[in-house]
Chains A and B, each alone.
Chain A
Amino acid sequence: MNMLQLYLIVGVAVFLLALHGLMMTTDAIRRLIAVNLMGAGTFIVMVALAGRVSPPDPVLHALVVTGLVVAISATAFALRLITASSVAEPTRQPPAEQADNMAKDKTP
């Protein structure tokens, strides 16, 4: 088994483990980390495939860099959404008009 095959197997294994983790957990932050690990698995496979020719294929490297940019911005956005949605409701009695709006909101 050469290095290329080893890296490919590692990449696929990381992808599958992360997928398993994603399906087995309910906590939003853990799921987000699992998604990032899936991304890492994909990128390992891509970088490994780039090494199949010499000199290494620059197109795949460019794709990985673009993929990382997408992953990091989406992760930041997801973290903000998750933290914003889990902040506890304010306990203070809201003013009358707001209370009215909130009652409307609560009807599912």
Chain B
Amino acid sequence: MTSALVSLSLPFMVALLLIAAGQRLGLRTAGMMVIASGCLSLTAAWFALMDVAAANQAILINLGGWENGLAIRLRLSPLSGLLLVFTAFMHVLIGLYAAFSRQGVPRDFWPLSSFLHGSLAALWLSADLFNLYITPELLGLAAVAMVALAGKKAYKPAANYLLLSLVASLFYLFGVALLYGRYGSLDVLMLASQTQSDLVTRIALLLMTAGLMLKAALWPLHLWLPAAHANAPTAVSALLSGLVVKGPLFILWMLWSEVAPTDLAQQIGPLLAFAGIIALVAGGLSAMRSAYIKTLVAYSTVAQLGYAMMALGLLLTWQLPQLHIALWLFVIAHGLAKATLFLAAGEMQATLGTKRISGLRGANANSAGSHVCICGGWRQPDRSATKRRVSGKVGVAGAAAQ
């Protein structure tokens, strides 16, 4: 657990240090510091993953040594370990791109990116509902500030993003208040054994689900995503699409697979799966119609999130443990692929000086590398989707055999 805490606190410390140092540090030094801390955090996350794999069960820690129910409890499960590694790895990769690409990034990118990294790590480790309100809030503020880095034209999408994210948190908070009023506990593990399918629980879970779906840009609450993601600087778009939208998805998954009583989860499952399928189709169609490269990639994120949502819905309907693995493999594969895709798209956009897809004619000659990346980026979600479908089918066959 210590290594997980190191992996969590390093980015926060570096972010604060960079903000305190301000102009005194050179741009290149700031970048190198963030990348170095990312590498250290990655190593720590790797050790945490090894720890939890050796322990073969989730490791719990009560911060400050308070008793259960009073303490803020952190939980390192194998999945959180894996997500810690994934987050640190993505930050190192995107940091390297930001430091060495020709376009460069504004100075404020570095502390914000570290801050985003820390917030995500805190989110993966949280195991109580209020912490799961604070961490997405930190994540949202960092993400909005990063969208605004693109300059004046991005202020309006950034302000919209912030407003929607605030509304979403309030819906979530209202649900948390109702759950606490009903059960007198905020701890996920303690709630899991107490929840019953009564009216208050239903209302609370529905409010929280609406808030999280808005934050994760799941259909039909996805309309803010393309504007925000397409207007951000390239490295930021990659972080937003690859990592940030996965945070609320994680909470949604935890809420329904652990906190909610099984019969409620089975009732909501088909609805979520249906919304996922619509997101797939609607996101795909909007992507085909869009005239701009980055908007196309952003709509593709909406569609891919539909896949994740469908997996979550089916998982809840059938209560199949195989689908948990499929869902998170898909999320990680999508994160890697989408980051590559955004970086390649941004690089082509900068090289060719056009934001339109029609301007990409003859792109092969100028930036073959980006092109290969784009092809690779497109391929990857397909492959993992096939994997997901295959494991889904295996699951169905297993259920039928029983």
A binding-site residues for B, Cβ under 8 Å: 15, 19, 22, 28, 31-32, 35, 38-39, 42, 45-46, 49, 52, 59-60, 63, 66-67, 70-71, 73-74, 77-78, 81-82, 84-85, 104-105, 107-108
The A-contacting residues of B in range 116-133, CB under 8 angstroms, are 130, 133
Of the candidates A15, A22, A63, A104, the one having the most CB atoms from chain B within 10 angstroms of its own CB is A63
Given the known interface contacts A15-B174, A49-B180, A49-B181, the answer about A78 and B159 at a Cβ–Cβ threshold of 8 Å is yes
Do A74 and B174 have beta carbons less than 8 Å apart?
no
Q: With A31-B163, A45-B177 given, is the CB distance from A70 to B134 under 8 Å?
A: yes
10 A-B residue pairs with Cβ-Cβ distance under 8 Å, sorted by A, are: A35-B170, A39-B170, A52-B181, A60-B177, A66-B134, A73-B141, A77-B144, A77-B162, A84-B152, A108-B355
| CB <8 Å contact, A78 and B170 | no
Residues of B in contact with A, size category: 20 to 34
Does B52 count as interface, using CB distance less than 8 angstroms? no
A17 CB to closest chain B CB (Å) equals 14
Q: Interface code B154-195, partner A: CB below 8 Å = 1, 0 otherwise?
A: 011011001100110110011011101100001000000000
Given contacts A35-B170, A42-B174, 17 further A-B contacts (CB under 8 A): A22-B167, A39-B170, A60-B180, A63-B130, A63-B180, A67-B133, A67-B173, A70-B134, A77-B141, A77-B144, A78-B159, A78-B166, A81-B148, A81-B155, A81-B159, A82-B155, A105-B153
Chain A residue with minimal CB distance to B185?
A59
- B353 within 8 Å of A (CB atoms): yes
Binding site for A on B (CB under 8 A): 130, 133-134, 137, 141, 144-145, 148, 151-153, 155-156, 158-159, 162-163, 166-167, 169-170, 173-174, 176-178, 180-181, 186, 292, 353-356
Q: Return chain B residues, CB-CB under 8 Å to A59.
A: 180, 186
Q: Are B174 and A81 in contact (CB under 8 A)?
A: no
* Known contacts A49-B180, A70-B134, A104-B353, A42 near B170 by CB under 8 Å: yes
Interface majority SS (helix, strand, loop, mixed), chain A: helix
| B163 with A32: CB separation less than 8 A | yes
Q: Which 8 A-B pairs have the closest CB atoms?
A: A85-B155, A49-B181, A81-B159, A46-B177, A85-B156, A38-B170, A35-B166, A42-B174
A71 to B186, CA, bound (A): 21
A45 to B182, CA, bound (A): 13
B163 surroundings in chain A (CB, below 8 A): 28, 31-32, 35, 78
Q: What residues of B have a CB within 8 angstroms of the CB of A104 in the complex? A: 353
Taking A39-B170, A77-B144, A78-B162 as contacts, is the C-beta distance between A107 and B355 under 8 angstroms?
A: yes
Question: Which residue of chain B has the shortest Cβ distance to A105 in the bound complex?
Answer: B153
Question: Which chain A residue has the least Cβ–Cβ distance from B162?
Answer: A78
Q: Which residue of B lies closest to A84 (CB)?
A: B155
Distance (whole angstroms) from the CB of B4 to the closest CB of chain A:
23
Q: How far is the CA of A71 from the CA of B166 in the complex (A)?
A: 8
Residues on B with beta carbons closer than 8 Å to the beta carbon of A67: 133, 173
| Closest residue of A by beta carbon distance from B129 | A63
Nearest chain A CB to B112's CB is how many angstroms away? Answer: 12
- A66 CA to B177 CA, complexed, in Å: 13
What is the bound-complex CA distance between A39 and B354, given in angstroms? 42
Name the distance in Å between B168's Cβ and chain A's nearest Cβ.
10
Min CB–CB distance B103 → chain A (angstroms): 12
Find chain A residues with CB under 8 A from B166 CB.
35, 39, 71, 74, 78
Inter-subunit contact A82/B159 (CB<8 Å): yes
CB distance from B150 to the nearest CB of A (A): 10
